[in-house]
Structures are given as C-alpha cells and as structure tokens.
Amino acid sequence: MAEEVKVFGACLSPFSRRVELALRLKGVPYEYIEEDIFKNKSPLLLKYNPVHKKVPVLLHNRKPIAESLVILEYIEETWKGNPILPEDPYEKAKARFWTKFTDEKCLPALRKAGWSPENEREKAVEEACECLKTLESSLNGKRFFGGDTVGMVDIAANFIGFWLTIMQEATGRKLLSAEKFPELFKWTDEFVSCSVVKESLPPKDKLLAFYKARVAEAKEAQTNAPK
C-alpha cells in the first residue's frame, strides 16, 4: 500500500512550514492542502484538530497529528533517514531544550516586539533582544543549531531565519542585525541559502504584503481609538 502523507497548512504560517521542511529534509513526498485559516477553516481541519482548530495537521495513513513540534518528533521517529535530532540522549535533550526555548520564549517575544503599541515598544524590544542573545549563545560557532546540518532547533527557528527579516521590513522595527547578533545573523544567511529550506519558505512578496496590511490595520485602529 502506498503511504498517504498529507499536510494541512497555510502558506504564510511558519508552523506549517516547519512540518514541510522536516518532510523535505527526510525526502518524504506529501500532498499539501492549503487552509484558509482566517476566514474559512475546512471541515477536515476542524475534524483532525478539534482541540486547537489550527494548522498544521499531518495526516499519515489517515491518522491525524497536530502541533508542529509534536509532528516533528513523529516525523523523526517514523522516517529514520536524515535525522533532525541527535542520537545521544543528552544531546537530544539539549536540542529539545533549545527547540522549546525558541518556540515558547523567542517567538512570542519577537512578535510582541514587532506588534506592541508604541508605548510598550522599548521594553518589548529589549526582552526580544535578550531572547535572541540567549539563543545565539547556543550556536557557539556552529553552522547550524544542529551542527553541520539543519536539525530540529533550526526548523523551529524558521521564523527567525525568514519571517523576522520581512516583519522588520514591514514594521521598521529592527531587532536582528549583523552588528548586534553576528552569529545569529550568519545563521539566518546559512539557513535561507539551503535549497531544501528555500523550497519550504513562502514567497517573500506575499509575506511582505501580508505584514504591510497588518501595519496599516494597526495604524488605522490607533487613529480611530478614543483619545
């Protein structure tokens, strides 16, 4: 029986792009189903992820799995080739630690820094930079967080590797620069230069347009807010 591998995702979502990147790294062919996550979630998405009602969902031989980091672990265990986690339990624990840090600390901090109202901006930027500094320290001279090849931390950090640059361009709020975070900046370069990574990134112009529309919306909301 041919394997059935489907990904329910959204073009601009870093979370569903994580799943696509992992499958591509493993060389697993998959069918991609684009979800309209803002206006019209499909009945299948709601059926497969009734708890969070979010992308990504991986459907493997009719069995659904939700939550990008849970899916990455599943992919790693199901398709053994081109591992995205080290074999050694201690090194694996370290990779999981940094994956969690990226997901739970860096991403919320970066989003807050990008979108917080002007009067909260300074503090939010400071906190986000603190996170980036900590994450950078774990690179420690390596090409990727995973060493010589892209691993789970790199995949989880795809937002920092690609989305962040575009978010900065749209909002005019500079967080990650070569001067401030030389190692991390070099990593983003290495990351987006990988051919397999490139294949699992959204088109830059589409993401930029999305972020610019959001900036415009935020400005309008501020203008209309009661003084």
Residues that bind a second copy (CB under 8 A): 51, 60, 63, 65-67, 69-71, 73-74, 77-78, 89-90, 92-94, 96-97, 100-101, 104, 134
In the sheet that holds 31-34, the strands lie side by side as 31-34, 5-9, 57-60, 63-66
d(CA 182, CA 168): 17
Minimum distance from residue 75 beta carbon to a second copy (Å): 9
Minimum distance from residue 43 beta carbon to a second copy (Å): 19
- The first and second tokens of residue 98, run together, are 């940094």
> Which of 54, 167 has the CB closer to a second copy?
54
Q: How far apart are the first and last CA of the chain?
A: 64
DSSP letters, the chain, are: ----EEEEE-TT-HHHHHHHHHHHHHT---EEEE-BTTTB--HHHHHH-TTT--S-EEEETTEEEESHHHHHHHHHHH--SS-SS-SSHHHHHHHHHHHHHIIIIIHHHHHHHHHS-HHHHHHHHHHHHHHHHHHHHTTTT-SBTTBSS--HHHHHTHIIIIIHHHHHHHH------TTT-HHHHHHHHHHHHSHHHHTTS--HHHHHHHHHHHHHHHHHHHHHS--
Minimum distance from residue 122 beta carbon to a second copy (Å): 23
Minimum distance from residue 211 beta carbon to a second copy (Å): 26
Question: How many other CB atoms are found less than 10 A from the CB of residue 197?
Answer: 21
> Which of 67, 190 has the CB closer to a second copy?
67
Minimum distance from residue 71 beta carbon to a second copy (Å): 7
Minimum distance from residue 69 beta carbon to a second copy (Å): 8
